[in-house]
Amino acid sequence: MSVNLKVNTMIPKDYQQANNILGMKTKRVIKNKRATYLQRNEDSITLVYHNTPVVTYNKDNSIKLNSGGYRSLTTKARMNSALGNRAYVFQKNHKWYLAANGMNYSFIDGVII
């Protein structure tokens, strides 16, 4: 007899998706995404990668981005997965940028989309 377990491997795109993944839990590991988990806070849900809160999902559907000073390919990938079609983070000449609304901006930790 085989058991088909539903395993979440998706990075949520907004607060509602993150809330659905967490269910009643305060913390849940994202399978197949090394060192990545969701954590419920008082007014938000955070996507944590290696103990750094890289994406914070707010109830108003805004998203806060934070590299924690670790500007790695995987940190950027986690952010871009969460951003979906809203925007994306990219690197050019060793500097990070945020592309949103047809414009490119220098990436700053704590930016809210």
Domain ranges in the chain are: 15-106
Q: Quick one: what percent of the chain has pLDDT higher than 70?
A: 92
pLDDT at 103 over 70: yes
pLDDT at 35 over 60: yes
Distance from C-alpha of 32 to C-alpha of 59, rounded to nearest angstrom: 26
Is the pLDDT higher at 47 or at 9?
47
Q: What pTM did the predictor assign? A: 0.89
